[in-house]
């Protein structure tokens, strides 16, 4: 792995055309991405179980399945991408696994995303959650829980490698990078629709399950576009993985709870909501400048 991490990256000056990089037709490339998404979701259901997804036995089995698919997913890239590209750049580097620029990749996207969530973070501060986060016992206890491991380790790492790193590297050669940012999340959002079947199976009314899944599709697709943007701009897998974990923790902003807050706190939180979005929009391009992350892959400056 060390030799691959240190391989010299390809640069945008080499004149590589996005549309020419894939040796297969773009239709085949999209089918490969669809197949990879099916394999990921299908791996969750290869085990026969009468338990819900939150049952320890179910989670342990799914960890095994997802780990196998995640480890195999780079082979899709290796098979469907132009071999000439791999002569100039190691596969691991293409999918964002490298050492140079890793410190800013761990810090800057997280800071940027925290700015975007300034409103929800202010609400957490007012109800005292920040004090809990400083307790070592909080982290030690949670890290022993399978649900915590699933939500903040297994899901972010596997989903970002499969649905972002591997799929984007393929799709980006069939379309322009910015278009790929919005196309790739469709696979990610659709992959979450299987939750609807599982909810109905365990007694949730189908209308409720349908509406919940539609909302989840919308939210995960929006997040997927942001995550894809971070991956292409930073050239690092670790950036969207950490942001994914953070967003899983924050969840969808609980705007309704603003009405229950004291007036002064509510005003401050509303200001943080608005200010966070404005600050994020002003800083997103600067804080994801590819030069900060030693990212000189050919598509880095085209996003």
CA dist 149 and 28 (Å) reads 35
CA contacts within 13 A on the Cβ side of 222: 8
260 is catalytic: no
236 is catalytic: no
* DSSP structural state of residue 302: G
Token couple for 6: 């240190």
Catalytic residue selected from 78, 192, 194, 198: 192
CA dist 187 and 36 (Å) reads 9
Is the four-CA dihedral 140, 241, 162, 187 of positive or negative sign?
positive
**CB-based contacts of 103: which residues, under 8 Å, 6+ apart?**
none
CA angle 11-15-16, nearest 5°? 85
**CB-based contacts of 87: which residues, under 8 Å, 6+ apart?**
none
What angle do the packed helices 194-201 and 206-234 form, to 10 degrees? Answer: 150
Catalytic residue selected from 124, 159, 173, 244: 159
Count CB neighbours of 137 within 10 A.
8
CA dist 235 and 99 (Å) reads 11
Residue with tokens 């897998």: 237
Which residues are annotated as catalytic? 159, 192
């Amino acid at each position: 792995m060390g030799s691959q991490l240190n391989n010299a990256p390809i640069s945008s000056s080499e004149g590589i055309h996005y549309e020419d990089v894939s040796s297969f037709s773009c239709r085949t490339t999209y089918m490969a991405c669809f197949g990879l998404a099916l394999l990921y979701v299908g791996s969750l259901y290869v085990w026969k179980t009468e338990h819900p997804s939150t049952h320890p036995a179910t989670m342990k089995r799914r960890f095994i399945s997802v780990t196998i698919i995640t480890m195999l997913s780079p082979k899709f890239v290796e098979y469907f991408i132009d071999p000439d590209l791999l002569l100039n750049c190691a596969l691991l580097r293409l999918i964002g696994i490298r050492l140079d620029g890793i410190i800013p990749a761990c810090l800057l996207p997280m800071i940027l995303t925290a700015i975007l969530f300034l409103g929800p973070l202010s609400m957490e501060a007012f109800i005292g959650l920040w004090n809990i986060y400083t307790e070592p016992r909080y982290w030690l206890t949670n890290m022993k829980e399978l649900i915590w491991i699933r939500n903040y380790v297994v899901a972010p790492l596997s989903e970002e490698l499969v649905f972002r790193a591997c799929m984007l590297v393929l799709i980006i050669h069939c379309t322009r990078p910015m278009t790929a940012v919005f196309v790739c999340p469709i696979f990610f959002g659709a992959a979450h629709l299987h939750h609807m079947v599982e909810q109905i199976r365990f007694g949730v009314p189908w209308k409720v399950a349908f509406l919940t899944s539609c909302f989840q599709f919308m939210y995960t697709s929006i997040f997927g576009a942001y995550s894809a943007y971070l991956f292409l701009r930073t050239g690092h897998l670790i950036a969207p993985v950490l942001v994914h974990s953070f967003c899983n923790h924050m969840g969808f902003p609980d705007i309704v709870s603003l009405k229950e807050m004291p007036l002064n706190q509510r005003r401050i939180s509303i200001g943080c909501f608005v200010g966070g979005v404005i600050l994020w929009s002003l800083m997103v391009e600067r804080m994801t400048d590819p030069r900060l992350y030693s990212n000189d892959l050919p598509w880095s400056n085209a996003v």
